[in-house]
Amino acid sequence: MARLNAIPGVPVLIACLAILLIWDLLSRVVMVSGLPPPWGALQEVPVILTDKESLVNILASLRRMSIGFSLAVAFAVPVGLLMGRSRLVAAFFNPLFMIIYPVPKAALMPIIMLWLGVGEMSKILVIFLGVSLPVIYHSYQGSKAVEEKMLWSAAAMGLGPMARLLRVVFPAALPEIMVGCRTGVVLALITMVTSEMIARQTGIGNIFFNALDMAQYDTVYAMIIVIGILGFLCDWGFEAVRRMLLGWAAPVHDIAVGSA
Protein backbone atom coordinates (compact mmCIF):
# COMPACT_ATOMS: atom_id res chain seq x y z
CA MET A 1 0.00 0.00 0.00
CA ALA A 2 2.72 2.43 1.05
CA ARG A 3 4.82 1.59 -1.98
CA LEU A 4 1.91 1.98 -4.38
CA ASN A 5 1.03 5.28 -2.76
CA ALA A 6 4.52 6.60 -3.49
CA ILE A 7 3.97 6.54 -7.27
CA PRO A 8 2.49 9.89 -8.29
CA GLY A 9 -1.02 9.68 -9.65
CA VAL A 10 -1.66 6.16 -8.40
CA PRO A 11 -3.32 7.14 -5.09
CA VAL A 12 -5.61 9.52 -6.93
CA LEU A 13 -6.56 6.85 -9.44
CA ILE A 14 -7.22 4.35 -6.67
CA ALA A 15 -9.28 6.97 -4.84
CA CYS A 16 -11.37 7.65 -7.94
CA LEU A 17 -11.98 3.94 -8.44
CA ALA A 18 -12.92 3.59 -4.79
CA ILE A 19 -15.38 6.47 -5.05
CA LEU A 20 -16.96 4.93 -8.16
CA LEU A 21 -17.19 1.54 -6.46
CA ILE A 22 -18.86 3.01 -3.38
CA TRP A 23 -21.22 4.89 -5.65
CA ASP A 24 -22.01 1.66 -7.49
CA LEU A 25 -22.63 -0.17 -4.23
CA LEU A 26 -24.88 2.61 -2.95
CA SER A 27 -26.95 2.55 -6.10
CA ARG A 28 -27.27 -1.22 -6.56
CA VAL A 29 -26.96 -2.80 -3.14
CA VAL A 30 -28.31 -0.11 -0.83
CA MET A 31 -30.62 1.01 -3.66
CA VAL A 32 -30.58 4.69 -2.83
CA SER A 33 -33.47 6.08 -4.81
CA GLY A 34 -32.58 8.62 -7.47
CA LEU A 35 -29.04 7.33 -7.68
CA PRO A 36 -28.27 5.42 -10.87
CA PRO A 37 -25.04 3.38 -11.13
CA PRO A 38 -22.09 5.56 -12.15
CA TRP A 39 -21.39 3.82 -15.45
CA GLY A 40 -24.21 5.48 -17.37
CA ALA A 41 -23.14 8.89 -16.12
CA LEU A 42 -19.53 8.16 -17.06
CA GLN A 43 -20.62 7.32 -20.61
CA GLU A 44 -22.52 10.59 -20.69
CA VAL A 45 -19.38 12.64 -19.88
CA PRO A 46 -17.82 12.44 -23.37
CA VAL A 47 -21.23 13.16 -24.85
CA ILE A 48 -21.38 16.43 -22.93
CA LEU A 49 -17.80 17.32 -23.71
CA THR A 50 -18.27 16.74 -27.45
CA ASP A 51 -21.64 18.42 -27.66
CA LYS A 52 -20.89 21.77 -29.26
CA GLU A 53 -23.37 23.80 -27.26
CA SER A 54 -22.39 22.34 -23.90
CA LEU A 55 -18.73 22.77 -24.66
CA VAL A 56 -19.21 26.41 -25.64
CA ASN A 57 -21.18 26.93 -22.45
CA ILE A 58 -18.51 25.36 -20.28
CA LEU A 59 -15.66 27.21 -21.99
CA ALA A 60 -17.48 30.51 -21.58
CA SER A 61 -17.92 29.75 -17.90
CA LEU A 62 -14.23 28.94 -17.54
CA ARG A 63 -13.33 32.20 -19.28
CA ARG A 64 -15.44 34.20 -16.82
CA MET A 65 -13.88 32.26 -14.01
CA SER A 66 -10.33 33.10 -15.11
CA ILE A 67 -11.13 36.76 -15.60
CA GLY A 68 -12.85 37.07 -12.22
CA PHE A 69 -10.03 35.20 -10.53
CA SER A 70 -7.27 37.29 -12.14
CA LEU A 71 -8.98 40.56 -11.29
CA ALA A 72 -9.49 39.42 -7.71
CA VAL A 73 -5.84 38.43 -7.28
CA ALA A 74 -4.66 41.71 -8.79
CA PHE A 75 -6.82 43.57 -6.29
CA ALA A 76 -6.47 41.37 -3.24
CA VAL A 77 -2.72 40.78 -3.08
CA PRO A 78 -1.72 44.47 -2.77
CA VAL A 79 -4.51 45.09 -0.25
CA GLY A 80 -3.45 42.10 1.82
CA LEU A 81 0.23 43.03 1.72
CA LEU A 82 -0.51 46.60 2.83
CA MET A 83 -2.74 45.36 5.63
CA GLY A 84 0.06 43.16 6.86
CA ARG A 85 2.56 45.98 7.00
CA SER A 86 0.39 48.77 8.42
CA ARG A 87 -1.67 48.46 11.55
CA LEU A 88 -3.83 51.32 10.44
CA VAL A 89 -4.66 49.81 7.06
CA ALA A 90 -5.43 46.52 8.79
CA ALA A 91 -7.63 48.28 11.35
CA PHE A 92 -9.40 50.05 8.49
CA PHE A 93 -10.28 46.95 6.50
CA ASN A 94 -10.62 44.22 9.13
CA PRO A 95 -14.13 45.00 10.47
CA LEU A 96 -15.47 45.53 6.95
CA PHE A 97 -14.12 42.18 5.81
CA MET A 98 -15.46 40.52 8.93
CA ILE A 99 -18.93 41.69 8.01
CA ILE A 100 -18.55 40.65 4.38
CA TYR A 101 -17.08 37.23 5.27
CA PRO A 102 -20.35 35.41 6.11
CA VAL A 103 -22.28 36.96 3.19
CA PRO A 104 -22.97 34.29 0.58
CA LYS A 105 -21.41 36.03 -2.43
CA ALA A 106 -23.29 34.00 -5.00
CA ALA A 107 -26.54 35.02 -3.29
CA LEU A 108 -25.87 38.57 -4.44
CA MET A 109 -26.42 37.35 -7.99
CA PRO A 110 -30.10 38.40 -8.21
CA ILE A 111 -29.31 41.89 -6.93
CA ILE A 112 -26.29 42.31 -9.16
CA MET A 113 -28.33 41.11 -12.12
CA LEU A 114 -30.90 43.70 -11.22
CA TRP A 115 -28.24 46.39 -11.49
CA LEU A 116 -25.95 45.15 -14.24
CA GLY A 117 -28.25 42.85 -16.21
CA VAL A 118 -27.62 39.19 -17.01
CA GLY A 119 -24.44 39.82 -18.99
CA GLU A 120 -20.82 38.88 -18.44
CA MET A 121 -20.20 41.75 -16.02
CA SER A 122 -22.53 40.39 -13.33
CA LYS A 123 -21.08 36.91 -13.48
CA ILE A 124 -17.49 38.11 -13.37
CA LEU A 125 -18.25 40.50 -10.51
CA VAL A 126 -19.68 37.69 -8.37
CA ILE A 127 -16.62 35.54 -8.96
CA PHE A 128 -14.42 38.52 -8.15
CA LEU A 129 -16.23 38.97 -4.83
CA GLY A 130 -16.02 35.28 -4.02
CA VAL A 131 -12.29 35.03 -4.62
CA SER A 132 -11.10 38.31 -3.08
CA LEU A 133 -11.50 37.62 0.62
CA PRO A 134 -9.44 34.44 0.99
CA VAL A 135 -6.66 35.88 -1.16
CA ILE A 136 -6.65 39.07 0.91
CA TYR A 137 -6.64 37.02 4.09
CA HIS A 138 -3.69 34.87 3.13
CA SER A 139 -1.69 37.78 1.68
CA TYR A 140 -2.36 39.62 4.93
CA GLN A 141 -1.15 36.71 7.04
CA GLY A 142 1.89 36.21 4.83
CA SER A 143 2.87 39.86 4.92
CA LYS A 144 2.26 40.14 8.66
CA ALA A 145 4.60 37.21 9.27
CA VAL A 146 7.53 38.79 7.39
CA GLU A 147 10.35 39.24 9.85
CA GLU A 148 10.87 42.79 10.96
CA LYS A 149 14.64 42.31 10.84
CA MET A 150 14.54 41.52 7.14
CA LEU A 151 12.86 44.86 6.56
CA TRP A 152 15.35 46.65 8.77
CA SER A 153 18.25 45.29 6.76
CA ALA A 154 16.47 46.28 3.56
CA ALA A 155 15.90 49.78 4.89
CA ALA A 156 19.55 49.96 5.92
CA MET A 157 20.47 49.11 2.33
CA GLY A 158 18.51 52.14 1.25
CA LEU A 159 15.30 50.59 -0.07
CA GLY A 160 12.29 52.87 0.14
CA PRO A 161 8.89 51.74 1.46
CA MET A 162 7.54 50.81 -2.01
CA ALA A 163 10.69 48.93 -2.93
CA ARG A 164 10.60 47.10 0.39
CA LEU A 165 7.01 46.04 -0.20
CA LEU A 166 7.78 44.83 -3.72
CA ARG A 167 11.18 43.30 -3.24
CA VAL A 168 11.11 42.03 0.34
CA VAL A 169 7.57 41.62 1.60
CA PHE A 170 6.08 40.25 -1.62
CA PRO A 171 8.60 37.43 -2.16
CA ALA A 172 8.67 36.58 1.53
CA ALA A 173 4.87 36.35 1.63
CA LEU A 174 4.64 34.51 -1.67
CA PRO A 175 4.23 31.00 -0.22
CA GLU A 176 1.27 32.15 1.84
CA ILE A 177 -0.13 34.17 -1.08
CA MET A 178 -0.02 31.00 -3.16
CA VAL A 179 -2.05 29.21 -0.51
CA GLY A 180 -4.61 31.99 -0.80
CA CYS A 181 -4.60 31.73 -4.58
CA ARG A 182 -5.08 27.99 -4.44
CA THR A 183 -8.10 28.41 -2.19
CA GLY A 184 -9.17 31.27 -4.44
CA VAL A 185 -9.09 29.30 -7.67
CA VAL A 186 -11.26 26.58 -6.16
CA LEU A 187 -13.58 29.25 -4.80
CA ALA A 188 -13.76 30.86 -8.24
CA LEU A 189 -15.06 27.57 -9.61
CA ILE A 190 -17.48 27.15 -6.71
CA THR A 191 -18.82 30.68 -7.04
CA MET A 192 -19.12 30.30 -10.78
CA VAL A 193 -21.06 27.04 -10.51
CA THR A 194 -23.27 28.36 -7.71
CA SER A 195 -24.13 31.64 -9.37
CA GLU A 196 -24.98 29.90 -12.62
CA MET A 197 -27.16 27.44 -10.77
CA ILE A 198 -28.96 30.38 -9.21
CA ALA A 199 -29.25 32.38 -12.43
CA ARG A 200 -30.06 29.27 -14.50
CA GLN A 201 -30.17 31.02 -17.88
CA THR A 202 -26.76 30.04 -19.13
CA GLY A 203 -23.81 27.80 -18.68
CA ILE A 204 -23.59 24.94 -16.25
CA GLY A 205 -26.79 25.83 -14.42
CA ASN A 206 -28.66 25.72 -17.67
CA ILE A 207 -27.35 22.24 -18.51
CA PHE A 208 -28.21 21.01 -15.02
CA PHE A 209 -31.78 22.17 -14.93
CA ASN A 210 -32.58 21.25 -18.51
CA ALA A 211 -31.48 17.74 -17.69
CA LEU A 212 -33.46 17.73 -14.46
CA ASP A 213 -36.60 18.94 -16.22
CA MET A 214 -36.28 16.29 -18.89
CA ALA A 215 -35.45 13.61 -16.31
CA GLN A 216 -32.07 12.86 -17.93
CA TYR A 217 -30.52 11.84 -14.67
CA ASP A 218 -27.38 10.46 -16.25
CA THR A 219 -26.66 13.91 -17.64
CA VAL A 220 -27.10 15.44 -14.19
CA TYR A 221 -24.57 13.04 -12.70
CA ALA A 222 -22.25 13.44 -15.67
CA MET A 223 -22.25 17.20 -15.09
CA ILE A 224 -21.33 16.58 -11.46
CA ILE A 225 -18.43 14.44 -12.59
CA VAL A 226 -17.29 17.13 -15.03
CA ILE A 227 -17.43 19.83 -12.36
CA GLY A 228 -15.71 17.54 -9.86
CA ILE A 229 -12.87 16.89 -12.28
CA LEU A 230 -12.60 20.63 -12.95
CA GLY A 231 -12.32 21.29 -9.21
CA PHE A 232 -9.67 18.66 -8.78
CA LEU A 233 -7.73 19.92 -11.78
CA CYS A 234 -7.84 23.53 -10.56
CA ASP A 235 -6.49 22.50 -7.19
CA TRP A 236 -3.92 20.09 -8.56
CA GLY A 237 -2.73 22.48 -11.27
CA PHE A 238 -2.26 25.24 -8.77
CA GLU A 239 -0.35 23.02 -6.41
CA ALA A 240 1.92 22.01 -9.31
CA VAL A 241 2.57 25.66 -10.18
CA ARG A 242 3.24 26.46 -6.56
CA ARG A 243 5.73 23.66 -6.27
CA MET A 244 7.52 24.81 -9.42
CA LEU A 245 7.74 28.42 -8.27
CA LEU A 246 8.38 27.77 -4.62
CA GLY A 247 10.36 24.59 -4.36
CA TRP A 248 12.25 26.20 -1.49
CA ALA A 249 9.25 26.73 0.73
CA ALA A 250 7.97 23.98 2.96
CA PRO A 251 5.23 21.95 1.28
CA VAL A 252 1.81 23.20 2.19
CA HIS A 253 -0.58 20.44 3.10
CA ASP A 254 -3.41 22.87 3.21
CA ILE A 255 -6.14 21.56 0.98
CA ALA A 256 -8.38 24.23 -0.43
CA VAL A 257 -11.79 24.38 1.16
CA GLY A 258 -14.38 27.05 0.95
CA SER A 259 -17.81 27.97 -0.16
CA ALA A 260 -19.31 30.64 -2.31
Q: Which residues bind another protein (CB under 8 A)?
A: 1-2, 5-6, 11-12, 14-16, 18-19, 32-35, 87-88, 91-96, 98-99, 101-104, 106-108, 110-111, 114-115, 186, 189-190, 193-194, 197-198, 204, 208-209, 212, 217, 220-221, 223-224, 227-228, 231-232, 234-236, 253, 255-260
CB 69 within 8 A of CB 127: yes
Choose between 77 and 194: whose C-beta lies nearer to another protein. Answer: 194
The least distance separating another protein from the CB of residue 153, rounded to whole angstroms, comes to 26
Q: Which is nearer to another protein, 153 or 210 (CB)?
A: 210
Please compute, for residue 137, the number of CA atoms within 13 A of its CA located in the half-sphere on the CB side: 16
Residues 6 or more apart whose Cβ sits within 8 Å of residue 186: 231, 234, 235, 256, 257, 258
Cα–Cα distances in angstroms (integers) from residue 145 to residues 42, 79, 85, 141, 229, in the given order: 46, 15, 9, 6, 34
Alpha-carbon distances, residue 34 vs 37, 59, 206, 258 (angstroms): 10, 29, 20, 27
Q: How many CB atoms lie within 10 A of CB 172?
A: 17
User: CB 143 → another protein: shortest distance, Å?
Assistant: 15
- Measured from the CB atom, the residue of 116 and 154 that comes closer to another protein is 116
Question: How far apart are CB 148 and another protein at their closest, in Å?
Answer: 17
| Residue whose CB is less far from another protein, 40 or 159 | 40
Q: How far is the CB of 198 from another protein (least distance, A)?
A: 5
